[in-house]
Structure 1
Amino acid sequence: MLASQRHARIVERVAESGAVRVADLVSELAVSDMTIRRDIEQLARRGLLERVHGGAVAIGHVGMPALPPSTDEPGFLAKSALMQSAKRAIAAQAAELVDPGAAIALSAGTTTVELARQLRHVPDLTIVTNSIPAAQVLGDTAAISGHTVVLTGGTRTPSEALVGPIAVGALRTLHVDLLFLGCHGIDPRAGLTTPNLVEAETNRALIGSARSVCVVADHTKWGVIGLGTIVGLDAVDILITDAGLAARGREVLTDRIERVIIAAPRDAATD
């Protein structure tokens, strides 16, 4: 990308949100930290933005927006409203990995609930889940689809997950072919993370029950770090994300994960 193209993109990002971080631009534009800082300095001299510690802000904007704390855990309904098109595309791609008659597991999360909707059309599945909404979606059509739905039990979280010793105890006795795992954040050093430490333990039990692990996460999860690590990226066999993931993120994930799938947008009417 030419310097003029980078400059235009940086100014566009600042205009859209009022501020932008150096780290986000490094990932998005696939250039070095030094290059981005030099770009911001040049744009500031031209009066197109203001340079601040860690990034740039629009003229007159006060300070950088704060990152959410690592313990922040939005409720299920709040998360359901975000990235809906990307989640549908990821779920549709994930459903293509499931053969009729398979035994699979779904973790909690809004993307896995969207996957549950897609799986209503795949017959004779045994589905283990700690997601209350996913179990409800699948249970509504179990008589028609021939599904067996196993809900782990446990203590309920804001993300409508069942977690804790009851869930972990149940999962230690179960064995599935493939786990579809949602997560709060993905980071090259921190791995897959969540703000809920008890949920992290339960997700590790889900991973332990599965022959293969497929992470389903839209691009906004990249670079987000929750309080607790679930597992490192090396424990993931497949990652399905959307086309919004920047080139640098794709490069890092492809180096660490055996198979990375970029889900193409789907027409909502056909999902």
Structure 2
Amino acid sequence: MLARQRQAAILERVRATGGVRVTELAAEFGVSDMTVRRDLEALHERGLLAKVHGGATVPGAGSTDEPGFRAKSVRQLPEKAAIAARAAALVPPGSAVALSAGTTTAELARRLVDVPGLTVVTNSLPVAEILHAGGRPDQTVVLTGGVRTPSDALVGPLAVTAIRSLHLDLLFLGVHGIGERAGFTTPNLMEAETDRALVAAADRLVVLADHTKWGTVGLCSIVELSAADVLVTDDRLAPEGRRVLGERVGELVLVRPGRPAREGTTE
């Protein structure tokens, strides 16, 4: 296959699925990772896709843009892994926790498979699938039901009604963006309502968000910054973000990708 043909096929895949991984493309086309990276760079220079760590996604849009789960799953992978590892250390065995939809909460779910006696409530199809695949007989997974969004969240009246009957120890909330005035945001109106129900049902709110979320503002606010008991992010957070969040959230935890999970600093 000629480079131009391969690039056309890659672009078609990105537009159809929202995101691609370098390793998957290399295996599919029978070429090296480096060849795929050159193809992605050529398409990126033409403004046809956005390069991210380990792959590529469709170019970003405005406050109503809602990338699919697959597209978001190739972004900031080392940061998400470090954030999830630190968050897992906050979960005691036998507790009742909720995980909202998102790729960082899905990373957390992979680590919660090892925690005994958990009851996990989620409106995320990928999170439920990960925990189900873990096969722990001492864990209970509760899927809220609802209408499916592009990010594989279940939202709407069915989800909200189910959540309002619950009492949870911890909520781990993934967000689309964080703004000084807007607070924690999402581009999806129904997802915001569902997330607010999760916040109301939990004794403590832990927000999981990598540094790229600072300054990104979705269409709809979920809760204000001061509602977060803990915010776990990575140490590439901008100085202004550190200042504002350090003043507003209960505890700001900064993790460094590649370091042990418990070495996050608190500000």
- Write the deviation string for residues 61-114 of structure 1: whole angstroms up to 9, x where unpaired: xxxxx9721100001000000000000000000000000001000000000000
Letter aligned with residue 174 of structure 1: L
Aligned to 1:124: 117
- Asked if 1:154 corresponds to 2:146, the answer is yes
Which residue of 199, 205, 220 corresponds with 1:228? 220
Counterpart position of 1:81: 74
For normalisation by structure 1, the TM-score amounts to 0.73
Structure with higher Rg: it is: 1
The 5 Å alignment of 1:86-125 reads: 86-125=79-118
- The AA in structure 1 aligned to 2:213 is K
CA deviations 1:224-249 (Å, max 9, x no partner) are 00000111101111000001101221
Q: Distance in 2 between matches of 1:142 and 1:101?
A: 16
Moved over 3 A (4+): none
Given that 2:99 and 2:124 are in contact with CA atoms closer than 8 Å, whether structure 1 keeps it comes out as yes
Residue aligning to 1:203:
195
Give the superposition deviation at 1:169.
0.1
Query: For 1:29-108, what aligned pairs fall within 5 Å after superposition?
Result: 68-108=61-101
In the alignment, the residues of structure 1 paired with residue 101 and residue 93 of structure 2 have an alpha-carbon distance, to the nearest angstrom, of 22
d(CA) in 1 for partners of 2:136, 2:214: 38
- Read off the aligned partner of 2:231 and give its amino acid letter: L
Answering whether residue 255 of structure 2 is matched by residue 263 of structure 1, we say yes
Find the aligned partners of 1:142 and 1:206 in 2 and give their Cα distance.
Answer: 25
Which 5+ residue runs of structure 1 have no aligned equivalent?
A: 1-65
Q: What letter is aligned with 1:216?
A: L
| Residue identity opposite 1:116 in structure 2 | A
1:142 pairs with 125, 135, 146, which one? Answer: 135
* 1:264 to partner: Cα distance: 2.3
Q: How far apart are the structure 2 equivalents of 1:99 and 1:116? A: 14
Report how many residues are paired. Answer: 205
Q: Distance in 2 between matches of 1:245 and 1:267?
A: 16
Structure 2 length-normalised TM: 0.74
**RCO comparison, higher one (Cα < 8 Å, 6+):** 1
**Quick one: distance in 2 between partners of 1:201 and 1:262?**
28
Query: Is the 1:142–1:148 contact (alpha carbons within 8 Å) kept by the matching residues of 2?
Result: no
1:263 CA drift (Å) = 1.4
Q: How far apart, in 1, do the equivalents of 2:135 and 2:202 lie?
A: 22
User: Residues 252 and 171 (structure 1 numbering): CA distance in 2 closer, same or farther, change over 3 Å?
Assistant: same
Task: Judge conservation of contact 2:113–2:136 (CA < 8 Å) in 1.
Answer: no
Please name the residue that 2:207 is paired with.
215
Partner of 1:244: 236
Unaligned 5+ segments in structure 2 are 1-58, 261-267
In structure 2, C-alpha distance between the alignment counterparts of 1:266 and 1:129, rounded to whole Å: 28
RMSD: 2.0
Paired with 2:258 and 2:139, the residues of 1 have a C-alpha distance of: 25
Once the two structures are superposed, residues 11-38 of structure 1 have per-residue CA deviations (whole angstroms, 9 ceiling, x without a partner) of xxxxxxxxxxxxxxxxxxxxxxxxxxxx
Quote the Cα distance in structure 2 between the aligned partners of 1:215 and 1:114. 14
What secondary structure is seen at the aligned counterpart in 2 of 1:253? helix
The 1-side partners of 2:259 and 2:225 are apart by: 31
CA distance in 2, matches of 1:176, 1:162: 18
